[in-house]
A and B are shown apart, each in its own frame.
Chain A
Amino acid sequence: MLEVSHLHKQFGDLTAINDISFKLVPGEILGFLGPNGAGKSTTMKVITGFLAPSSGKVSVWGCDVAADPLGAQEHMGYLPEGAPLYEEMTPRTFLSFIADVRGINGEDRAERIGTVVQTMSLASVLDQRIETLSKGFKRRVGLAQAILHDPDVLILDEPTDGLDPVQKHHVREMIRGLSKDKIVIISTHILEEVTAVCSRAIIIAAGTVLADCTPDELEARSRYHLATKIQFVGEAQLAAHRGVLTALPGVAGSEVAASTAELTLFPSDESGSSQRVAQETVDYLRDYGADFTGVFQERGRLDEVFREVTGLQSGN
Protein backbone atom coordinates (compact mmCIF):
# COMPACT_ATOMS: atom_id res chain seq x y z
CA MET A 1 0.00 0.00 0.00
CA LEU A 2 1.17 3.44 -0.84
CA GLU A 3 -0.84 6.41 0.20
CA VAL A 4 -0.22 10.02 -0.63
CA SER A 5 -2.60 12.43 1.01
CA HIS A 6 -2.95 16.17 0.47
CA LEU A 7 0.64 16.69 -0.45
CA HIS A 8 1.88 20.26 -0.79
CA LYS A 9 5.36 21.40 -1.61
CA GLN A 10 6.43 24.98 -1.72
CA PHE A 11 9.79 26.25 -2.96
CA GLY A 12 9.79 29.88 -1.90
CA ASP A 13 7.03 31.45 -3.98
CA LEU A 14 6.75 28.48 -6.29
CA THR A 15 4.13 25.85 -5.58
CA ALA A 16 5.60 22.64 -6.93
CA ILE A 17 2.93 20.32 -5.60
CA ASN A 18 -0.56 21.51 -4.84
CA ASP A 19 -2.75 19.07 -2.94
CA ILE A 20 -1.93 15.77 -4.59
CA SER A 21 -3.60 12.65 -3.20
CA PHE A 22 -3.72 9.09 -4.44
CA LYS A 23 -3.67 5.56 -3.14
CA LEU A 24 -2.03 2.58 -4.77
CA VAL A 25 -2.51 -1.09 -3.97
CA PRO A 26 -0.11 -3.93 -4.78
CA GLY A 27 -0.23 -4.91 -8.43
CA GLU A 28 -0.80 -1.38 -9.67
CA ILE A 29 1.62 0.23 -12.09
CA LEU A 30 1.11 3.95 -12.08
CA GLY A 31 2.22 6.14 -14.94
CA PHE A 32 2.92 9.68 -13.88
CA LEU A 33 2.38 12.01 -16.79
CA GLY A 34 2.84 15.70 -17.10
CA PRO A 35 4.67 18.40 -18.99
CA ASN A 36 8.17 19.35 -17.88
CA GLY A 37 8.11 21.15 -14.54
CA ALA A 38 4.70 19.75 -13.65
CA GLY A 39 5.90 18.40 -10.32
CA LYS A 40 6.41 14.74 -11.25
CA SER A 41 9.97 14.53 -10.00
CA THR A 42 9.24 16.63 -6.94
CA THR A 43 6.39 14.30 -6.00
CA MET A 44 8.70 11.32 -6.35
CA LYS A 45 11.36 13.02 -4.26
CA VAL A 46 8.82 13.59 -1.51
CA ILE A 47 7.51 10.02 -1.66
CA THR A 48 11.02 8.62 -1.33
CA GLY A 49 11.81 10.95 1.57
CA PHE A 50 14.51 12.95 -0.18
CA LEU A 51 12.46 16.12 0.19
CA ALA A 52 10.17 16.90 3.07
CA PRO A 53 6.67 18.03 2.06
CA SER A 54 5.43 21.46 3.14
CA SER A 55 2.31 19.66 4.31
CA GLY A 56 0.57 16.37 3.73
CA LYS A 57 1.50 12.80 4.36
CA VAL A 58 3.06 9.88 2.54
CA SER A 59 2.80 6.36 3.85
CA VAL A 60 4.55 3.42 2.26
CA TRP A 61 3.70 -0.13 3.27
CA GLY A 62 2.41 1.19 6.56
CA CYS A 63 5.45 3.37 7.30
CA ASP A 64 5.00 7.11 7.52
CA VAL A 65 7.84 8.53 5.42
CA ALA A 66 8.26 11.56 7.70
CA ALA A 67 8.21 9.62 10.99
CA ASP A 68 9.99 6.46 9.88
CA PRO A 69 11.96 7.24 6.73
CA LEU A 70 14.26 4.23 7.07
CA GLY A 71 11.37 1.82 7.43
CA ALA A 72 9.73 3.26 4.33
CA GLN A 73 12.98 3.36 2.38
CA GLU A 74 13.58 -0.33 3.01
CA HIS A 75 10.42 -1.06 1.04
CA MET A 76 11.33 1.26 -1.80
CA GLY A 77 13.65 1.07 -4.77
CA TYR A 78 14.26 4.42 -6.41
CA LEU A 79 15.78 5.56 -9.65
CA PRO A 80 16.25 9.33 -9.30
CA GLU A 81 15.91 11.63 -12.29
CA GLY A 82 18.93 11.34 -14.58
CA ALA A 83 20.11 8.18 -12.79
CA PRO A 84 22.89 9.73 -10.68
CA LEU A 85 25.66 7.25 -9.82
CA TYR A 86 29.04 7.25 -8.13
CA GLU A 87 30.93 7.55 -11.36
CA GLU A 88 34.33 6.55 -10.04
CA MET A 89 33.03 3.14 -9.05
CA THR A 90 32.45 0.14 -11.28
CA PRO A 91 29.00 -1.47 -11.56
CA ARG A 92 30.38 -4.37 -9.49
CA THR A 93 31.64 -2.27 -6.56
CA PHE A 94 28.61 0.00 -6.81
CA LEU A 95 26.08 -2.84 -6.62
CA SER A 96 28.06 -4.41 -3.82
CA PHE A 97 27.88 -1.09 -1.93
CA ILE A 98 24.11 -0.99 -2.42
CA ALA A 99 23.86 -4.58 -1.20
CA ASP A 100 25.85 -3.59 1.92
CA VAL A 101 23.61 -0.63 2.63
CA ARG A 102 20.51 -2.71 2.08
CA GLY A 103 21.88 -5.39 4.39
CA ILE A 104 21.78 -8.14 1.76
CA ASN A 105 24.23 -10.75 3.01
CA GLY A 106 25.30 -14.34 2.56
CA GLU A 107 24.10 -16.48 -0.31
CA ASP A 108 21.30 -14.09 -1.03
CA ARG A 109 23.79 -11.43 -1.99
CA ALA A 110 25.57 -13.16 -4.87
CA GLU A 111 22.24 -14.41 -6.14
CA ARG A 112 20.54 -11.00 -6.07
CA ILE A 113 23.49 -9.26 -7.71
CA GLY A 114 23.64 -12.00 -10.34
CA THR A 115 19.94 -11.64 -11.03
CA VAL A 116 19.97 -7.89 -11.55
CA VAL A 117 23.15 -8.04 -13.63
CA GLN A 118 21.39 -10.52 -15.87
CA THR A 119 18.08 -8.63 -15.98
CA MET A 120 19.86 -5.43 -16.93
CA SER A 121 22.47 -7.13 -19.17
CA LEU A 122 25.40 -5.58 -17.32
CA ALA A 123 27.77 -8.54 -17.38
CA SER A 124 29.96 -7.08 -20.11
CA VAL A 125 30.68 -3.83 -18.23
CA LEU A 126 30.84 -5.05 -14.63
CA ASP A 127 34.44 -3.96 -14.09
CA GLN A 128 34.44 -0.82 -16.14
CA ARG A 129 34.29 2.55 -14.40
CA ILE A 130 30.75 3.91 -14.50
CA GLU A 131 31.96 7.28 -15.85
CA THR A 132 33.16 5.55 -19.02
CA LEU A 133 29.82 3.85 -19.70
CA SER A 134 27.26 4.96 -22.28
CA LYS A 135 24.07 6.67 -21.18
CA GLY A 136 22.08 3.49 -21.73
CA PHE A 137 24.37 1.44 -19.53
CA LYS A 138 24.36 4.09 -16.81
CA ARG A 139 20.58 4.09 -16.81
CA ARG A 140 20.62 0.31 -16.49
CA VAL A 141 23.07 0.42 -13.59
CA GLY A 142 20.66 2.86 -11.93
CA LEU A 143 17.77 0.48 -12.52
CA ALA A 144 19.79 -2.48 -11.25
CA GLN A 145 20.48 -0.55 -8.05
CA ALA A 146 16.77 0.18 -7.63
CA ILE A 147 15.62 -3.43 -7.96
CA LEU A 148 18.55 -5.07 -6.15
CA HIS A 149 16.64 -5.71 -2.92
CA ASP A 150 13.50 -6.81 -4.76
CA PRO A 151 11.54 -3.88 -3.33
CA ASP A 152 7.80 -3.85 -2.71
CA VAL A 153 7.56 -0.36 -4.13
CA LEU A 154 9.52 0.70 -7.16
CA ILE A 155 9.75 4.37 -8.04
CA LEU A 156 11.35 5.17 -11.37
CA ASP A 157 11.85 8.70 -12.61
CA GLU A 158 11.97 8.51 -16.41
CA PRO A 159 13.38 4.99 -16.52
CA THR A 160 13.62 4.70 -20.30
CA ASP A 161 15.08 8.13 -20.98
CA GLY A 162 18.21 7.76 -23.10
CA LEU A 163 17.65 4.10 -23.93
CA ASP A 164 17.47 2.76 -27.46
CA PRO A 165 14.22 1.07 -28.61
CA VAL A 166 15.46 -2.42 -27.76
CA GLN A 167 16.52 -1.36 -24.26
CA LYS A 168 13.24 0.48 -23.78
CA HIS A 169 11.43 -2.70 -24.64
CA HIS A 170 13.60 -4.61 -22.11
CA VAL A 171 12.87 -2.18 -19.32
CA ARG A 172 9.15 -2.28 -20.02
CA GLU A 173 9.25 -6.07 -20.03
CA MET A 174 11.09 -5.95 -16.72
CA ILE A 175 8.47 -3.65 -15.19
CA ARG A 176 5.60 -5.73 -16.55
CA GLY A 177 7.32 -8.88 -15.34
CA LEU A 178 7.46 -7.77 -11.71
CA SER A 179 5.28 -9.95 -9.59
CA LYS A 180 1.73 -8.88 -9.00
CA ASP A 181 2.21 -7.93 -5.36
CA LYS A 182 4.33 -4.88 -6.08
CA ILE A 183 3.61 -1.23 -6.59
CA VAL A 184 5.38 0.63 -9.37
CA ILE A 185 5.35 4.34 -10.11
CA ILE A 186 7.02 5.54 -13.28
CA SER A 187 7.17 9.07 -14.50
CA THR A 188 7.45 9.65 -18.18
CA HIS A 189 6.53 11.97 -20.94
CA ILE A 190 6.44 9.15 -23.45
CA LEU A 191 2.75 8.46 -23.80
CA GLU A 192 3.07 5.08 -25.50
CA GLU A 193 4.84 3.92 -22.36
CA VAL A 194 1.70 4.44 -20.35
CA THR A 195 -0.43 2.23 -22.59
CA ALA A 196 2.44 -0.25 -22.82
CA VAL A 197 3.04 -0.86 -19.11
CA CYS A 198 0.71 1.05 -16.82
CA SER A 199 -2.54 -0.03 -15.22
CA ARG A 200 -3.27 3.50 -14.12
CA ALA A 201 -2.36 6.96 -15.29
CA ILE A 202 -2.22 10.24 -13.44
CA ILE A 203 -1.73 13.44 -15.37
CA ILE A 204 -0.39 16.37 -13.39
CA ALA A 205 0.39 19.90 -14.39
CA ALA A 206 1.42 22.83 -12.21
CA GLY A 207 1.40 20.48 -9.24
CA THR A 208 -2.24 19.50 -9.53
CA VAL A 209 -3.81 16.18 -10.53
CA LEU A 210 -5.80 16.74 -13.73
CA ALA A 211 -6.71 13.18 -14.54
CA ASP A 212 -6.55 9.92 -12.61
CA CYS A 213 -7.81 6.87 -14.47
CA THR A 214 -6.78 3.81 -16.48
CA PRO A 215 -4.96 4.31 -19.79
CA ASP A 216 -8.09 2.94 -21.53
CA GLU A 217 -10.27 5.54 -19.90
CA LEU A 218 -7.76 8.16 -20.89
CA GLU A 219 -7.96 7.02 -24.48
CA ALA A 220 -11.73 7.09 -24.26
CA ARG A 221 -11.52 10.80 -23.58
CA SER A 222 -10.03 11.31 -26.99
CA ARG A 223 -12.09 12.68 -29.83
CA TYR A 224 -10.60 9.88 -31.88
CA HIS A 225 -11.79 7.18 -29.51
CA LEU A 226 -13.60 4.57 -31.66
CA ALA A 227 -13.59 6.88 -34.65
CA THR A 228 -13.58 5.11 -38.01
CA LYS A 229 -10.66 5.86 -40.28
CA ILE A 230 -10.65 5.02 -43.97
CA GLN A 231 -7.46 4.93 -45.95
CA PHE A 232 -8.27 5.58 -49.63
CA VAL A 233 -6.07 5.01 -52.63
CA GLY A 234 -5.48 8.50 -53.89
CA GLU A 235 -7.17 11.82 -53.31
CA ALA A 236 -9.68 11.28 -56.13
CA GLN A 237 -11.21 8.31 -54.33
CA LEU A 238 -11.36 10.31 -51.12
CA ALA A 239 -13.19 13.13 -52.87
CA ALA A 240 -15.60 10.76 -54.60
CA HIS A 241 -16.81 8.98 -51.48
CA ARG A 242 -16.40 11.63 -48.83
CA GLY A 243 -19.80 13.20 -49.25
CA VAL A 244 -21.80 10.00 -48.74
CA LEU A 245 -19.66 8.72 -45.89
CA THR A 246 -19.88 11.89 -43.81
CA ALA A 247 -23.67 11.79 -44.22
CA LEU A 248 -23.98 8.22 -42.90
CA PRO A 249 -26.30 7.81 -39.92
CA GLY A 250 -24.46 8.11 -36.60
CA VAL A 251 -21.65 10.29 -37.96
CA ALA A 252 -21.26 13.44 -35.92
CA GLY A 253 -18.27 14.90 -37.68
CA SER A 254 -15.32 14.15 -39.88
CA GLU A 255 -11.73 15.00 -40.49
CA VAL A 256 -9.90 14.85 -43.78
CA ALA A 257 -6.19 14.44 -44.29
CA ALA A 258 -6.00 15.15 -48.02
CA SER A 259 -2.30 14.53 -48.46
CA THR A 260 -2.53 10.99 -47.14
CA ALA A 261 -6.06 10.40 -48.49
CA GLU A 262 -7.44 9.59 -45.05
CA LEU A 263 -10.94 10.22 -43.85
CA THR A 264 -11.84 10.00 -40.17
CA LEU A 265 -15.48 9.75 -39.14
CA PHE A 266 -16.40 10.67 -35.58
CA PRO A 267 -19.39 8.81 -34.16
CA SER A 268 -22.12 10.69 -32.33
CA ASP A 269 -22.53 10.29 -28.58
CA GLU A 270 -25.49 7.94 -29.02
CA SER A 271 -24.74 4.49 -27.67
CA GLY A 272 -23.75 1.97 -30.30
CA SER A 273 -23.17 4.62 -32.91
CA SER A 274 -19.44 3.89 -33.20
CA GLN A 275 -20.21 0.28 -34.04
CA ARG A 276 -22.88 1.36 -36.46
CA VAL A 277 -20.65 3.87 -38.26
CA ALA A 278 -17.97 1.25 -38.71
CA GLN A 279 -20.44 -1.27 -40.08
CA GLU A 280 -22.15 1.19 -42.41
CA THR A 281 -18.78 2.38 -43.69
CA VAL A 282 -17.61 -1.12 -44.49
CA ASP A 283 -20.93 -1.93 -46.20
CA TYR A 284 -20.84 1.24 -48.27
CA LEU A 285 -17.23 0.84 -49.39
CA ARG A 286 -17.91 -2.72 -50.44
CA ASP A 287 -21.19 -1.99 -52.21
CA TYR A 288 -19.83 0.92 -54.19
CA GLY A 289 -16.49 -0.68 -55.01
CA ALA A 290 -14.42 2.07 -53.48
CA ASP A 291 -10.68 1.79 -53.88
CA PHE A 292 -9.25 1.73 -50.37
CA THR A 293 -6.48 -0.04 -48.48
CA GLY A 294 -7.98 -0.22 -45.03
CA VAL A 295 -10.66 0.70 -42.54
CA PHE A 296 -9.64 1.06 -38.88
CA GLN A 297 -11.35 1.84 -35.68
CA GLU A 298 -9.07 4.10 -33.62
CA ARG A 299 -8.40 3.49 -29.94
CA GLY A 300 -7.95 7.13 -29.16
CA ARG A 301 -4.94 9.36 -29.22
CA LEU A 302 -3.24 9.91 -25.88
CA ASP A 303 -1.16 12.81 -27.09
CA GLU A 304 -4.32 14.66 -27.97
CA VAL A 305 -5.90 13.91 -24.59
CA PHE A 306 -2.69 14.94 -22.91
CA ARG A 307 -2.60 18.27 -24.71
CA GLU A 308 -6.24 18.88 -24.02
CA VAL A 309 -6.06 17.99 -20.33
CA THR A 310 -2.91 19.94 -19.60
CA GLY A 311 -3.87 22.79 -21.95
CA LEU A 312 -6.97 23.49 -19.90
CA GLN A 313 -4.82 24.09 -16.89
CA SER A 314 -2.40 26.60 -18.37
CA GLY A 315 -5.17 28.30 -20.31
CA ASN A 316 -3.80 28.00 -23.82
Chain B
Amino acid sequence: MNGVLVILKRELQSYFATPLAYVFIFIFLVLSGVFTFYLGNFFEREQADLTPFFSFHPWLYLFLIPAISMRLWSEERKTGTIELLMTLPVTRLDAVLGKFLAAWSFAGLALVLTFPLWITVNYLGDPDNGVIFASYLGSFLMAGGFLAIGSCMSALTRSQVIAFIGCGIVCLLFVLAGFQMITGLLRDWLPLFLVDTVASLSFLMHFSAVSRGVVGLADFVYFLSMIGIWLAATVVVLEMKQAD
Protein backbone atom coordinates (compact mmCIF):
# COMPACT_ATOMS: atom_id res chain seq x y z
CA MET B 1 0.00 0.00 0.00
CA ASN B 2 2.87 2.31 0.88
CA GLY B 3 4.20 1.81 -2.63
CA VAL B 4 0.92 2.98 -4.20
CA LEU B 5 0.87 6.15 -2.11
CA VAL B 6 4.50 7.01 -2.80
CA ILE B 7 4.04 6.60 -6.55
CA LEU B 8 0.75 8.52 -6.42
CA LYS B 9 2.43 11.41 -4.64
CA ARG B 10 5.36 11.56 -7.03
CA GLU B 11 3.11 11.46 -10.09
CA LEU B 12 0.87 14.26 -8.81
CA GLN B 13 3.95 16.32 -7.99
CA SER B 14 5.22 15.92 -11.50
CA TYR B 15 1.84 16.87 -13.05
CA PHE B 16 2.03 20.22 -11.37
CA ALA B 17 5.78 20.66 -11.90
CA THR B 18 5.07 21.36 -15.56
CA PRO B 19 2.54 23.70 -17.21
CA LEU B 20 0.81 20.60 -18.62
CA ALA B 21 -1.57 20.29 -15.68
CA TYR B 22 -2.67 23.89 -15.80
CA VAL B 23 -3.06 23.85 -19.58
CA PHE B 24 -5.14 20.70 -19.35
CA ILE B 25 -7.45 22.05 -16.68
CA PHE B 26 -7.84 25.30 -18.59
CA ILE B 27 -8.75 23.52 -21.82
CA PHE B 28 -11.13 21.19 -20.02
CA LEU B 29 -12.98 24.06 -18.38
CA VAL B 30 -13.16 26.14 -21.55
CA LEU B 31 -14.37 23.25 -23.67
CA SER B 32 -16.95 22.06 -21.19
CA GLY B 33 -18.22 25.64 -21.03
CA VAL B 34 -18.40 25.92 -24.79
CA PHE B 35 -20.21 22.61 -25.10
CA THR B 36 -22.69 23.47 -22.38
CA PHE B 37 -23.61 26.98 -23.41
CA TYR B 38 -23.29 26.92 -27.20
CA LEU B 39 -23.80 23.36 -28.35
CA GLY B 40 -25.96 22.36 -25.41
CA ASN B 41 -28.18 25.46 -25.48
CA PHE B 42 -28.01 25.70 -21.72
CA PHE B 43 -30.05 28.91 -21.48
CA GLU B 44 -32.48 28.31 -24.35
CA ARG B 45 -33.60 25.04 -22.79
CA GLU B 46 -34.83 26.92 -19.76
CA GLN B 47 -34.40 23.88 -17.59
CA ALA B 48 -32.62 23.87 -14.28
CA ASP B 49 -30.31 20.90 -14.85
CA LEU B 50 -26.85 20.13 -16.11
CA THR B 51 -27.82 17.64 -18.83
CA PRO B 52 -26.22 19.70 -21.62
CA PHE B 53 -23.01 19.80 -19.60
CA PHE B 54 -22.79 16.09 -18.86
CA SER B 55 -24.07 14.78 -22.17
CA PHE B 56 -20.91 16.01 -23.89
CA HIS B 57 -18.55 14.40 -21.42
CA PRO B 58 -18.02 11.12 -23.28
CA TRP B 59 -16.95 13.09 -26.38
CA LEU B 60 -14.84 15.51 -24.40
CA TYR B 61 -13.07 12.67 -22.65
CA LEU B 62 -12.37 11.01 -25.96
CA PHE B 63 -9.50 13.35 -26.63
CA LEU B 64 -8.77 14.89 -23.25
CA ILE B 65 -8.29 11.66 -21.28
CA PRO B 66 -5.77 10.20 -23.75
CA ALA B 67 -3.82 13.44 -23.29
CA ILE B 68 -3.44 12.61 -19.60
CA SER B 69 -2.94 8.88 -19.94
CA MET B 70 -0.52 8.85 -22.87
CA ARG B 71 2.44 9.81 -20.73
CA LEU B 72 1.77 7.35 -17.88
CA TRP B 73 4.17 4.68 -19.15
CA SER B 74 5.35 5.82 -22.57
CA GLU B 75 7.29 8.68 -21.07
CA GLU B 76 8.98 6.41 -18.53
CA ARG B 77 9.99 4.06 -21.31
CA LYS B 78 11.22 6.86 -23.54
CA THR B 79 13.36 8.53 -20.88
CA GLY B 80 14.50 5.22 -19.40
CA THR B 81 13.17 6.03 -15.93
CA ILE B 82 11.07 2.88 -16.16
CA GLU B 83 14.30 1.00 -15.47
CA LEU B 84 14.72 2.99 -12.30
CA LEU B 85 11.12 2.53 -11.25
CA MET B 86 10.97 -1.20 -11.97
CA THR B 87 14.17 -1.89 -10.02
CA LEU B 88 12.97 -0.05 -6.94
CA PRO B 89 11.26 -2.27 -4.38
CA VAL B 90 7.74 -1.55 -5.66
CA THR B 91 5.51 -4.19 -7.22
CA ARG B 92 4.22 -3.67 -10.74
CA LEU B 93 0.67 -3.58 -9.42
CA ASP B 94 1.58 -0.83 -6.94
CA ALA B 95 3.17 1.23 -9.69
CA VAL B 96 0.19 0.73 -12.02
CA LEU B 97 -2.30 1.63 -9.28
CA GLY B 98 -0.28 4.60 -8.07
CA LYS B 99 0.01 6.06 -11.54
CA PHE B 100 -3.64 5.39 -12.36
CA LEU B 101 -4.91 6.90 -9.11
CA ALA B 102 -2.77 10.00 -9.67
CA ALA B 103 -4.24 10.45 -13.14
CA TRP B 104 -7.75 9.74 -11.86
CA SER B 105 -7.51 12.22 -9.01
CA PHE B 106 -6.17 14.77 -11.46
CA ALA B 107 -9.17 14.20 -13.73
CA GLY B 108 -11.36 14.41 -10.62
CA LEU B 109 -9.85 17.76 -9.75
CA ALA B 110 -10.60 19.09 -13.24
CA LEU B 111 -14.17 17.87 -12.82
CA VAL B 112 -14.55 19.48 -9.40
CA LEU B 113 -13.37 22.78 -10.84
CA THR B 114 -16.50 22.92 -12.98
CA PHE B 115 -18.43 23.75 -9.78
CA PRO B 116 -19.31 27.29 -11.02
CA LEU B 117 -21.77 25.60 -13.40
CA TRP B 118 -23.43 23.89 -10.50
CA ILE B 119 -23.62 27.20 -8.63
CA THR B 120 -25.05 28.88 -11.73
CA VAL B 121 -27.78 26.33 -12.20
CA ASN B 122 -28.68 26.51 -8.52
CA TYR B 123 -28.79 30.30 -8.72
CA LEU B 124 -30.99 30.30 -11.81
CA GLY B 125 -33.42 27.64 -10.73
CA ASP B 126 -34.09 24.74 -8.46
CA PRO B 127 -32.34 21.70 -9.92
CA ASP B 128 -32.38 18.17 -8.56
CA ASN B 129 -28.99 18.18 -6.86
CA GLY B 130 -29.15 14.44 -6.35
CA VAL B 131 -29.19 13.91 -10.09
CA ILE B 132 -26.33 16.37 -10.53
CA PHE B 133 -24.30 14.56 -7.90
CA ALA B 134 -25.00 11.21 -9.56
CA SER B 135 -23.95 12.70 -12.90
CA TYR B 136 -20.69 13.93 -11.46
CA LEU B 137 -20.11 10.49 -9.98
CA GLY B 138 -20.90 8.82 -13.31
CA SER B 139 -18.63 11.18 -15.17
CA PHE B 140 -15.83 10.53 -12.71
CA LEU B 141 -16.26 6.76 -13.03
CA MET B 142 -16.27 7.05 -16.80
CA ALA B 143 -13.07 9.10 -16.69
CA GLY B 144 -11.57 6.25 -14.65
CA GLY B 145 -12.56 3.74 -17.31
CA PHE B 146 -11.03 5.86 -20.06
CA LEU B 147 -7.86 6.34 -18.03
CA ALA B 148 -7.49 2.62 -17.33
CA ILE B 149 -7.69 1.96 -21.08
CA GLY B 150 -5.17 4.74 -21.64
CA SER B 151 -2.84 3.26 -19.04
CA CYS B 152 -2.77 -0.03 -20.91
CA MET B 153 -2.23 1.66 -24.29
CA SER B 154 0.59 3.72 -22.81
CA ALA B 155 2.30 0.62 -21.41
CA LEU B 156 2.34 -0.88 -24.90
CA THR B 157 4.50 1.74 -26.56
CA ARG B 158 7.27 4.22 -25.97
CA SER B 159 5.64 6.72 -28.28
CA GLN B 160 3.20 9.07 -26.61
CA VAL B 161 1.54 9.83 -29.94
CA ILE B 162 0.73 6.16 -30.50
CA ALA B 163 -0.47 5.86 -26.90
CA PHE B 164 -2.75 8.86 -27.47
CA ILE B 165 -4.24 7.52 -30.69
CA GLY B 166 -4.53 3.97 -29.34
CA CYS B 167 -6.40 5.14 -26.28
CA GLY B 168 -8.63 7.40 -28.38
CA ILE B 169 -9.59 4.58 -30.73
CA VAL B 170 -10.29 1.96 -28.06
CA CYS B 171 -12.30 4.46 -26.02
CA LEU B 172 -14.22 5.46 -29.15
CA LEU B 173 -15.15 1.82 -29.72
CA PHE B 174 -16.42 1.53 -26.17
CA VAL B 175 -18.43 4.71 -26.50
CA LEU B 176 -19.87 3.86 -29.92
CA ALA B 177 -20.90 0.37 -28.82
CA GLY B 178 -23.94 1.96 -27.24
CA PHE B 179 -24.60 4.66 -29.81
CA GLN B 180 -28.07 4.19 -31.27
CA MET B 181 -26.87 4.43 -34.84
CA ILE B 182 -24.44 1.58 -34.22
CA THR B 183 -26.81 -0.62 -32.26
CA GLY B 184 -29.42 -0.03 -34.97
CA LEU B 185 -26.93 -1.15 -37.58
CA LEU B 186 -25.93 -4.20 -35.59
CA ARG B 187 -29.53 -5.16 -35.05
CA ASP B 188 -29.83 -6.00 -38.74
CA TRP B 189 -26.91 -8.39 -38.55
CA LEU B 190 -26.77 -9.88 -35.11
CA PRO B 191 -29.20 -11.65 -32.85
CA LEU B 192 -30.72 -9.37 -30.25
CA PHE B 193 -28.88 -10.80 -27.26
CA LEU B 194 -25.53 -10.10 -28.95
CA VAL B 195 -26.57 -6.55 -29.74
CA ASP B 196 -27.52 -6.13 -26.11
CA THR B 197 -24.19 -7.57 -25.00
CA VAL B 198 -22.30 -5.15 -27.19
CA ALA B 199 -24.43 -2.26 -26.03
CA SER B 200 -24.00 -3.23 -22.40
CA LEU B 201 -20.25 -2.88 -22.81
CA SER B 202 -20.72 0.72 -23.79
CA PHE B 203 -19.60 3.65 -21.71
CA LEU B 204 -22.44 5.65 -23.16
CA MET B 205 -25.22 3.37 -21.94
CA HIS B 206 -23.95 3.17 -18.38
CA PHE B 207 -23.07 6.80 -18.22
CA SER B 208 -26.48 7.96 -19.41
CA ALA B 209 -28.13 5.65 -16.89
CA VAL B 210 -26.11 7.14 -14.03
CA SER B 211 -26.48 10.71 -15.25
CA ARG B 212 -30.27 10.38 -15.26
CA GLY B 213 -29.85 9.91 -11.54
CA VAL B 214 -30.35 6.16 -11.61
CA VAL B 215 -27.31 4.90 -9.79
CA GLY B 216 -27.65 1.18 -10.25
CA LEU B 217 -25.32 -1.40 -8.86
CA ALA B 218 -24.79 -2.78 -12.36
CA ASP B 219 -23.37 0.52 -13.59
CA PHE B 220 -21.02 0.71 -10.65
CA VAL B 221 -19.89 -2.83 -11.23
CA TYR B 222 -19.47 -2.06 -14.92
CA PHE B 223 -17.20 0.94 -14.44
CA LEU B 224 -15.17 -0.60 -11.65
CA SER B 225 -14.67 -3.83 -13.56
CA MET B 226 -13.64 -1.88 -16.67
CA ILE B 227 -11.02 -0.14 -14.54
CA GLY B 228 -9.94 -3.39 -12.91
CA ILE B 229 -9.66 -5.33 -16.18
CA TRP B 230 -7.69 -2.66 -18.02
CA LEU B 231 -5.34 -2.10 -15.09
CA ALA B 232 -4.77 -5.84 -14.85
CA ALA B 233 -4.03 -5.76 -18.58
CA THR B 234 -1.51 -3.00 -17.93
CA VAL B 235 0.28 -5.19 -15.37
CA VAL B 236 0.33 -8.07 -17.84
CA VAL B 237 1.72 -5.84 -20.60
CA LEU B 238 4.49 -4.63 -18.29
CA GLU B 239 5.30 -8.19 -17.35
CA MET B 240 5.49 -9.20 -21.00
CA LYS B 241 7.82 -6.30 -21.70
CA GLN B 242 10.06 -7.51 -18.89
CA ALA B 243 10.48 -10.86 -20.60
CA ASP B 244 10.86 -9.28 -24.03
Complex-state Cα separation, A156 to B18, whole angstroms: 30
B14 pairs with A45, CB closer than 8 A: no
Identify which of B79, B86, B89 contacts A102 (C-beta below 8 A). Answer: B89
Identify which of B9, B17, B84 contacts A80 (C-beta below 8 A). Answer: B84
Complex-state Cα separation, A81 to B82, whole angstroms: 12
Q: Is the interface of B mostly helix, strand, loop or mixed?
A: helix
- List residues of chain B with CB under 8 Å of any chain A CB: 2-3, 6-7, 9-10, 13-14, 17-18, 79-81, 83-84, 86-91, 242-244
Complex-state Cα separation, A11 to B91, whole angstroms: 24
* Shortest Cβ distance from residue A149 to the other chain B in the assembled complex, whole angstroms: 9
- List residues of chain A with CB under 8 Å of any chain B CB: 11, 45, 48-52, 70, 73-74, 76, 78, 80-82, 84-89, 93, 97-98, 100-103, 129, 145
B80 pairs with A80, CB closer than 8 A: yes
Q: A86-B10, A86-B81 are in contact. Are A76 and B243 (CB under 8 A)?
A: no
- 8 closest A-B pairs by beta carbon, nearest first, are A84-B80, A80-B83, A100-B6, A88-B17, A52-B243, A48-B87, A73-B89, A84-B81
A101 pairs with B83, CB closer than 8 A: no
Q: A76-B87, A84-B79, A145-B84 are in contact. Are A97 and B10 (CB under 8 A)?
A: yes
Complex-state Cα separation, A212 to B182, whole angstroms: 67
* Shortest Cβ distance from residue A95 to the other chain B in the assembled complex, whole angstroms: 12
Q: What are the residues of chain B within 8 A of A82 when measuring CB–CB?
A: 80
* Shortest Cβ distance from residue B100 to the other chain A in the assembled complex, whole angstroms: 17
Complex-state Cα separation, A80 to B86, whole angstroms: 11
Q: Which residue of A lies closest to B17 (CB)?
A: A88
B244 pairs with A11, CB closer than 8 A: yes
* Shortest Cβ distance from residue B17 to the other chain A in the assembled complex, whole angstroms: 4
Complex-state Cα separation, A86 to B86, whole angstroms: 14
Q: A70-B91, A73-B88, A103-B2 are in contact. Are A87 and B79 (CB under 8 A)?
A: yes
